Structure 1
Amino acid sequence: MAISARATQAKGAVDVVTTFLARIRALADDPDALDLTFGNPHEMALPGFTAALRAHVEPRSADWFGYKASERPAQEAVAAGLSAELGLPFEPEDIAMTQGAFGAISLALALLTDAADEVVIPVPGWFCYEPMLHAVNLVPVRAPLEPVSFDLDVDAIARAITRRTRIVIVNSPANPTGRVYSKQEWESLAAVLEEASRTHGRRIWLISDEPYRRVLFDDVEFASPAASYPWTVIDYSYGKVLLAPGQRLGYLALSPLIPTHEREELRDALMPLGLAIGWGFPDAVMQYSVPEFETLTIDLAELTRKRDRLYAALTDAGFEITRPEGTFYLWGRAPGGDAIAFCDALAERGVYVMPGTLFDQPQHFRISLTATMEMIEAALPHLVEVATASRGAAA
């Protein structure tokens, strides 16, 4: 075999995604397709986003486009923003600028793990956790969320922990469910991780995956586990709040509550490991733009309007939908119980939604609210009609 065993495992874990992409290739050729799959933009970029890029693309010095690690002004802007949001005293040295959340998670894994360590991941959860872990010789261990509400199941996480566990990954607001977890849940998890760390004689770290932290509905309050469990690192991506996932920009942040000697050791390793994982720093113009990006956001009022319209229409039509508290997704049970059959029937009508099989949930589906309101209105009759037919076929 030409490829390595870990590459084979990583490929196997992501094949469900590539298979799905192959199934929706028709999108590229159909200008009338109603694409409600990924969180991609369907309208022009935020004016402030493009204005920031234009302001910084003109060089101001000979080294303007030279090699960049974590630029100090970007670190300062992030630390100030995080401190204000989370009420914790972040310092610029706690921040490593990365190529989106992918890069931040990769950096965290390089920073904290050794080969064959176990990493506990939520199910349903982001479908890239597992292949990323396989690719660096780590062992993913699934911990199910509560099966009806999709709340964090702290007991399930406790059962998943072994003496080989090094990291637990949590995601709030959660993709695909839209759930936002409370400080009380983080306090319960912190107690479990502290006890397990003592029992097994090694520190278990927490990666808090927070790319949707600023995409919240109904004045829901966000709480980060970094305030409850000192041994936490936060990954973040600007691609969500700016709705510009093709421009890779994010960061990894060390919790200020990490004990001083450990925090200093981690700080000293951020830049060398950012280089070691393949110069994982963002491009120069993106970093120069961070102070402006910190004040920008997609239209949350319009996003709420789209959520409310879809949620009301689908629940009225008999769908079982989890009402999202954050993110830009709607998560529901496929009528008839077969996500692939439901999504295929919609695709035949030019409506594309994501089957829950990508999240190891073959009875569910996900809709992206980044579609335009016009697309949503056009898709709704098809969703209702296909649901009716699916229920009839399953009866």
Structure 2
Amino acid sequence: MTMSDRAARAKAAVDVVTAFFARIQATADDPDALDFTFGNPHELALPGLTSAMQAQIEPRTVDWFAYKTSERLAQETVAAGLRTELGLDFEPEDIAMTQGAFGALSLAFALLADAGDEVVIPVPGWFCYEPMLHAANLVPVRAALDPETFDLDVDAIARAITPQTRIVVVNSPANPTGRVYSEATWRALAEVLENGSRTHGRRIWLVSDEPYRRIRFDGIDFASPAMAYPWTVIDYSYGKVLLAPGQRLGYLALSPLIPGDERDELRAALMPIGLAIGWGFPDAVMQYAVPALEAVSLDMAELARKRDRLFGALDGAGVRVTRPEGTFYLWGEAPGGDGAAFCAALDERGVHVMPGALFDQPHHFRMSLTATMETIDRAIPHLTDVAAALGPTAR
């Protein structure tokens, strides 16, 4: 085989996703397509995004577009925001600016784990965890969420921990389910991780994947596991709240509760490892724009209206859907119990949704709420017709 074993494993883990990409790309030029697949924008960019970037595009010094690592003003802005949001005493030195959450996760894996280490990931969960881990020569270990509520199953995580476990990844608000986990959940998980670390004689780290942290409904509070477990790092992406996933901007944050010597060691490694993974720092203009972008957000009231419109229609048609507490997705059980058949029937009508098989859940589907309200209204008759034709879920 020409490619490396880890490349082959990464490719195999993402083949179902790339095949789906290719199929959806074939419909990209169809003006009548009703697309609910990815969290892409369906309208022009938020005015605050474009103005923030425009304000920084004109060079002010000769090194305006020179090599940039983590810009100090961006670090200071992020640390101040985290202090306000999470109530923990973050400092600028705890922040590494990255190419979105992808870059932050790559940095975390390189920083904390060695080749062959195991990393526990949630299922259903983001479909890029596994290929990223394989590419980093790490071993993904799945831990199922509660099959009814999609709550984090702390007992399942405990069963997944072995002497080789180095990292546990959690995601709240969770993609694809929209669940937001409570402080009590994090306290229970912290106890499991502390016990596992003590039992196996090596520290288990927690990576808290928080790109949807600011996208929550109904006044639901957010709690980060960094508040409960000191050995936590947080990854974040601005691409979600700005509805601009193509502008790669994010960060990795070290919990200020990490014990002093370990925190200092990690701080000193953030820049060198960011360089080593392929200059994983955001472009200069995006970093300069961070202070302005901190105040920019998609319209949460409009997003809630979209959620309620689509959830109400599907629920009224007898489709079992999880009402999201956060993110911009709807997660449901496919009518007839076959996610692929449900998606194929909708494809024939020009309505495109994501099959649950991409999340290792073949009986489910996911829909993105970033579509316009007009698109939602046009799609609802097709969704309800197909649901009626395929019948109830298998359960």
| TM-score calculated relative to the size of structure 2 | 0.99
Distance 1:333 1:392 in 2: 9
Unaligned runs of at least 5 residues, structure 2: none
Any idea what the Cα deviations from partners look like across 1:352-392, whole Å, max 9, x if unmatched?
Answer: 00000000000000000000000000000000101111118
Counterpart of 2:224 in structure 1 is 224
Counterpart of 1:208 in structure 2 is 208
Counterpart of 2:127 in structure 1 is 127
Give the C-alpha shift of residue 26 in structure 1: 2.9
CA contact (8 A) 2:208 2:234 kept: yes
Distance 1:218 1:114 in 2: 41
SS of 2:337 mapped into structure 1:
coil
Distance 2:207 2:29 in 1: 39
Find runs of 4+ consecutive structure 1 residues off by over 6 angstroms.
392-395
Unaligned runs of at least 5 residues, structure 1: none
CA RMSD of superposed structures (Å): 1.1
Give the C-alpha shift of residue 23 in structure 1: 1.9
Counterpart of 2:152 in structure 1 is 152
Distance 1:2 1:324 in 2: 44
Once the two structures are overlaid, the 10-residue window that deviates more, 21-30 or 330-339, is 21-30
Counterpart of 1:11 in structure 2 is 11
Is it true that 1:95 corresponds to 2:95 in the alignment?
yes
Distance 2:374 2:392 in 1: 29
Distance 1:392 1:128 in 2: 30
Any idea what the Cα deviations from partners look like across 1:107-148, whole Å, max 9, x if unmatched?
Answer: 000100000000000000000000000001100000000001
Counterpart of 2:382 in structure 1 is 382
Distance 2:15 2:278 in 1: 24
Distance 1:389 1:29 in 2: 28
Is it true that 1:346 corresponds to 2:338 in the alignment?
no
Counterpart of 1:57 in structure 2 is 57
Counterpart of 1:371 in structure 2 is 371
Distance 2:25 2:243 in 1: 22
One-letter code aligned to 2:316: D
Identical positions, percent: 75
Structure-to-structure mapping, 1:65-76, within 5 angstroms = 65-76=65-76
| TM-score calculated relative to the size of structure 1 | 0.99
Give the C-alpha shift of residue 29 in structure 1: 2.2
Any idea what the Cα deviations from partners look like across 1:27-80, whole Å, max 9, x if unmatched?
Answer: 222011000000000011110100010000000000000000000000000000
Distance 2:21 2:286 in 1: 28
Distance 1:283 1:54 in 2: 14
Distance 1:382 1:230 in 2: 49
CA contact (8 A) 2:9 2:131 kept: yes
Counterpart of 2:316 in structure 1 is 316
Shift in CA distance, 51/393, structure 1 to aligned 2, threshold 3 Å: closer
Any idea what the Cα deviations from partners look like across 1:217-259, whole Å, max 9, x if unmatched?
Answer: 0000000000000000000000000000000000000000000
Any idea what the Cα deviations from partners look like across 1:145-168, whole Å, max 9, x if unmatched?
Answer: 000100000000000000000000
CA contact (8 A) 1:27 1:35 kept: no
SS of 2:37 mapped into structure 1:
coil
Distance 1:380 1:352 in 2: 12
CA contact (8 A) 2:333 2:393 kept: no
Is it true that 1:43 corresponds to 2:40 in the alignment?
no
Distance 1:152 1:325 in 2: 14
Is it true that 1:290 corresponds to 2:290 in the alignment?
yes
Counterpart of 1:143 in structure 2 is 143
Any idea what the Cα deviations from partners look like across 1:332-358, whole Å, max 9, x if unmatched?
Answer: 000001101100110110000000000
Distance 1:393 1:359 in 2: 18
Counterpart of 1:304 in structure 2 is 304
SS of 1:3 mapped into structure 2:
coil
CA contact (8 A) 2:339 2:364 kept: yes
Distance 1:246 1:260 in 2: 36
Is it true that 1:236 corresponds to 2:236 in the alignment?
yes
Is it true that 1:255 corresponds to 2:255 in the alignment?
yes
